[in-house]
Amino acid sequence: MIDPDLEAPYLLFLGDAARAQDAGTAAALARWRPEECVGQLRYANARVDCGLPDMDIGQARRAGARSLVIGVTTPDGTLKTDWESTLVDALAAGLDVVGGPHTPLESIPRLANAAYRSGSRLVDLRRLPEELAVADGRPRSGRRLLTVGTQRDAGPLDTALALHQALRQGGVDARFRASSPTGMLIAGRGVALDSVPAEYLAGVAEQLCPANDPDHWDIVEGQGSLLHPASAAITLGLMHGVRPDALVLCHQAGRTRLDGWPGGAIPPLNECIERHLQAAKPSSPAAHFIGIALDTTGLAGDARRTALAAVENETNLPCADPLADGAEALLAWLPATTA
């Protein structure tokens, strides 16, 4: 796994983010690690607000910031050229620049030169583990829960974090396992699974959650979507390497189409569940779903309650919005530990 040397607190860079999903990294850090965030840096045309104080680089430095985190992404995962000047200014001011774009930070000449001149660091989260291995499928002790989604952005990170928090508060020995750059920023370690060559996906997923005490739970952040042709391979490799005992399906209320895939429809939830179980069974014969995490953003009152009840009736599984309601209801069907 990757253990990035991160220097908090952070200034979150939102740039010109126009949609909430474009600034998912910044939003997740502000939600789950607010004590490590001094503020946000937004351009005048940005439409996203993470609820942190707006600061420029000088103000953030005086407030104690030690790193600028690239909290915004583009559809193709690269950095916009228009952002480079801000990142260069941050490096010159003595801040590390931390991020996980698909383009390595060190490969961008302006950034590499600025880091060399200033002595500040470029911390690239999308690095491969030093040792890659093909999955061996050998049994390993411990329990594992994996979040999976009907869509690539259906909330597996927030759901996994909420489940981990609920388990820890309930006295259960549990650890959150990060499989994305955003998750790594929150957990302090992990791996960006979507950067791993396909042959090693399951093997790296095995390394992500190694053998542990019989009563220990690893709560693993899902990646991609088995139902989305553009990212199904990542989800499948993760599932086969994690070999989960329990699964939680993440879905957005009212969502019926696959994002970024013309004509792609999200199947009925029971079909989604069955497809995941068919994929999981070869490596995890006992895997089963314990609940549905439903993102009810935009719904309130009776409409929200109706959406939650409809999913429970449809799937015969507990359903909750982990951010709005907490994740305790999703743990009622969690397999008992061996104690």
Domain definitions of the chain by residue range: 10-124, 143-331
Supply 51's token pair.
Answer: 């609820």
**Measured CA distances, 243 to 19, 34, 274, 286 (Å):** 34, 32, 16, 9
pLDDT at 268: 97
| pLDDT tens by residue, the chain, 339 residues | 788 899 999 999 999 999 988 999 999 999 999 999 999 999 999 999 999 999 999 999 999 999 999 999 988 888 999 999 999 999 999 999 999 998 899 999 999 999 999 999 999 999 988 889 999 989 999 999 999 999 988 899 999 999 999 999 999 999 999 999 999 999 999 999 999 999 999 999 999 999 999 999 999 999 999 999 999 999 999 999 999 999 999 999 999 999 888 889 999 999 999 999 999 999 999 999 999 999 999 999 999 999 999 999 999 999 999 999 999 999 988 876 433
Task: Please name which of 33, 287, 15, 330 lies closest in space to residue 159, comparing C-alpha atoms.
Answer: 330
Phi, psi of 263 (to 5 degrees): 80, -5
Phi, psi of 292 (to 5 degrees): -120, 125
Q: Are 136 and 237 in contact (CB under 8 A)?
A: no
- 15 CB-near residues (< 8 Å, 6+ apart): 41, 42, 43, 46, 72, 80, 82, 83, 86
Residue by residue, DSSP assigns 44-91 as: TT-----SSPB--HHHHHHTT--EEEE----TTSPPPGGGHHHHHHHH
pLDDT at 336: 62
Fold equal for 10-124 and 143-331 = yes
| CATH placement of domain 143-331 | 3.40.50.300
* CATH among 3.40.50.720, 3.30.70.140, 2.140.10.10, 2.60.120.260 for 10-124: 3.40.50.720
3-state DSSP helix/strand/coil percent for the chain, to nearest 5?
40, 20, 45
What pairs with residue 288 in β-bridges? 246
pTM of the model: 0.95
Q: Are 151 and 225 in contact (CB under 8 A)?
A: yes
Rounded-to-integer distance, Cα 138 and Cα 31, Å: 37
pLDDT at 332: 87
Residue with the two structure tokens 């940005």: 46
DSSP summary character for residue 115: H
Rounded-to-integer distance, Cα 331 and Cα 326, Å: 10
Determine how many CB atoms are found less than 10 A away from the CB of residue 5: 9
